[in-house]
Amino acid sequence: ELKVEQNPLFLSMQEGKNYTIYCNYSTTSDRLYWYRQDPGKSLESLFVLLSNGAVKQEGRLMASLDTKARLSTLHITAAVHDLSATYFCAVALASGTYKYIFGTGTRLKVLA
Amino acid sequence: ETGVTQSPTHLIKTRGQQVTLRCSSQSGHNTVSWYQQALGQGPQFIFQYYREEENGRGNFPPRFSGLQFPNYSSELNVNALELDDSALYLCASSLGQGETQYFGPGTRLLVL
């Protein structure tokens, strides 16, 4: 059974600092997604990573994918308070039909 | 361009009842997925519809069923409601299978 694990589960960091969220998954997949969820809100798509070595950046967030290690990272550069949210990674399993598995989520709090 | 919409926003039902949740896809999107998100958890994939056919299903019992209509809007039906069905139900539409998913605001279901 496919498992998607994120760490850390909780992250409290100071504004201006850098940090990385890790997403490990247990079986082969060629699509890795990152989402952001604010409290009481729906999910917002951040990145879709489609191939080994893929790197995407938007503002202070950068995501990368290593399919051989089955690992994706979400790097936060010079954090600001507005980045406080829960971040989920998700993996797609495609074998004729599709199935999506989400990670446990990382709750990020950026302190001023 | 209209985003993904869901109705109703909130719903209270009693155990054993049936419920229908509705989702209107973003314009041009032919794929819709449904997710269940319990409080403090990551979304759990229920199923995906592509061009009116179910083409992927998570670990949910048959009492969770769905439909996708020719205009690509969708319904999620849950029969014989159980207390554990209380959750936020999210639908997401995309241009195709595996593509970036755009989430609606969700329907919060409470089963008493």
pLDDT digits (tens, 9 = 90+) for B62-85: 999 999 999 889 999 999 999 999
Q: Work out the mean pLDDT of chain B and round it to a whole number.
A: 95
Question: Residue A82: what pLDDT?
Answer: 95
Mutation choice for B interface testing from A44, A100, A107 by most B CBs within 10 A: A100
Chain-chain contact of A98 with B102 (C-beta, under 8 angstroms): no
Q: Which amino acid is at B83?
A: L
* Angular region, B22: left φ>0, alpha ψ -120 to 50, beta rest: beta
Q: Is A13 on the interface with B (CB under 8 A)?
A: no
A interface mutation test: which of B6, B45, B107 has the most A CBs within 10 A? B45
Residue A40: other Cβ atoms inside 10 A:
8
What are the pLDDT digits (tens) for A18-38?
Answer: 999 999 999 888 789 999 999
Q: Which residue has the tokens 């269940």?
A: B36
List CB contacts (< 8 A) between A90 and chain B. Answer: 43
CA distance A10 to A82: 16
Chain B residues touching chain A at CB-CB below 8 Å: 33, 35, 41-45, 48, 50, 55-58, 90, 92, 97-106
What single letter denotes the amino acid at residue B27?
Answer: S
- pLDDT value at residue A51: 84
Predicted confidence at residue A90, as pLDDT, reads: 96
- Give the span between the Cα atoms of B99 and A97, in whole angstroms: 14
pLDDT of residue B98: 87
Where does the pLDDT of residue B54 fall: very low under 50, low under 70, confident under 90, or very high at 90 and above?
very high
Summarize the confidence of residues B94-100 as an average pLDDT.
90
Neighbours of A31 (CB within 10 A): 21
CB contact under 8 A, B98 and A104: no
Quick one: CA torsion of B92, B93, B94, B98, rounded to 10 degrees? 40
Residue among A112, A59, A60, A66 nearest A89 (CA): A66
Number of A to B CB contacts under 8 A, please give it.
Answer: 61
The predicted pLDDT at position A29 comes to 82
Instruction: Kindly indicate the confidence band of residue B97, based on its pLDDT and cuts at 50, 70 and 90.
Output: confident
Q: What is the mean pLDDT of chain A?
A: 93
Cα dihedral value B88, B91, B97, B101, nearest 10: -80
User: Can you read off the two tokens belonging to residue A44?
Assistant: 């917002």
Residue B1 reports pLDDT greater than 70: no
Residue in B with minimal Cα distance to A5: B42
Which residues, in sequence order, are bridge partners of residue B92?
B33, B103
**Average of per-residue pLDDT across B12-17:** 98
Mutation to test the B interface, candidates A49, A86, A99, most B Cβ within 10 Å: A99
CA–CA separation, B104 and B91 (whole Å): 6
In this complex, the residue of B33, B48, B101 whose CB is nearest that of residue A45 is B101
What CA–CA distance (Å, rounded) separates A5 from A40?
23
The residue with tokens 């008493």 is: B112
**In Å, how far are A37, A39, A49, B31 from A72, measured between CA atoms?**
18, 24, 9, 25
Say whether the peptide bond before residue B43 is cis (omega within 30 degrees of 0).
Answer: no
Whether pLDDT at B23 is above 80: yes
| Mean pLDDT on B78-105 | 95
In terms of CA atoms, which chain A residue is nearest residue B54? A97
* SS3 call for A97: coil
Percent of chain B's residues with pLDDT above 90: 88
Is B42–A105 a contact, with Cβ atoms under 8 angstroms apart? Answer: yes
Residue B21 near residue B89 (C-beta atoms within 8 A): yes
Distance CA B112, CA B110 (A): 6
* Percent of all residues in chain A with a pLDDT value above 90, rounded to a whole number: 82
